[in-house]
Amino acid sequence: MRVIAGTARRLQLKTIEGLDTRPTTDRIKETLFNMLSFDIEGSRFLDLFAGSGGIGIEALSRGAAEAVFVERNGKAAACIRDNLKHTRLEDRASLMVRDAVTALRLMEGRQPFDYIFMDPPYGRLLEKEVLLYLGQSGLCGPQTLVIVESDLDTDFDYLDQTGLEIVREKVYKTNMHTFFRRV
């Protein structure tokens, strides 16, 4: 896994061994950032279920003003710290080692993020819990784009309870990105 573009372009990123994380492939990451590329510069980016930090680091490399990484796994959090140091992007990053909803609660009162990305473990409905929270949170403003990476079987049939709506979907061979905004 590597950084695709920007100031840290081509730098390799560490990942933790085992099945605890599932890094987004370079091809999917490149497709995602090609869709977002014009608006990343100067943005505030939140990377939930951050794993090795590849998505948030890509945002920082492409000019995001700030990225907050949330990862509860201690080994993965250490990997994020190493990757931020290796890419020399740690001065615009912060890391919260805790579960996603607790981290969101602790951040309440801050200005809204421009992008909130999450890649939770598949099949546990963790994205539902976070989307329900974000629909009522000040961290998710009217211009915030929420992006969920999920498996192809993920169903957002509860969306009417969240205050969010789907604005775009990008389907890949084995997973998809679903984009949400406030209604």
In this predicted model, what pLDDT tens digit does every residue of 53-99 receive, in sequence order? 999 999 999 999 999 999 999 999 999 999 999 999 999 999 999 99
Residue 1 has pLDDT above 60, yes or no: yes
Per the CB < 8 A criterion, the answer to whether 75 and 52 are in contact is no
Contact indicator for 104, 130 with CB cutoff of 8 Å: yes
3-state secondary structure of 17: coil
Span between the terminal Cα atoms of the chain, in Å: 35
| Beta partners for residue 182, in sequence order | 164
- Residue 29 confidence class, pLDDT cut points 50, 70, 90: confident
pTM score of the predicted model: 0.91
- Note the pLDDT of residue 22: 62
One DSSP character per residue, 127-178 reads HHHHHHHHTT-TTEEEEEEEEEEEETT---TTGGGTTEEEEEEEE-SSEEEE
pLDDT at 18: 61
Q: What is the pLDDT of residues 112-126, one digit of tens each?
A: 999 999 999 988 999
pLDDT confidence tier of residue 111, bands split at 50, 70 and 90: very high
Q: What is the pLDDT of residue 9?
A: 67
Supply the pLDDT for residue 69: 97
Interval 148-158 mean pLDDT? 94
Q: What is the mean pLDDT of residues 49-53?
A: 93
Enumerate the domain spans of the chain: 31-182
Pull the structure tokens for residue 45.
């980016």
CATH architecture for the domain at 31-182: 3-Layer(aba) Sandwich (3.40)
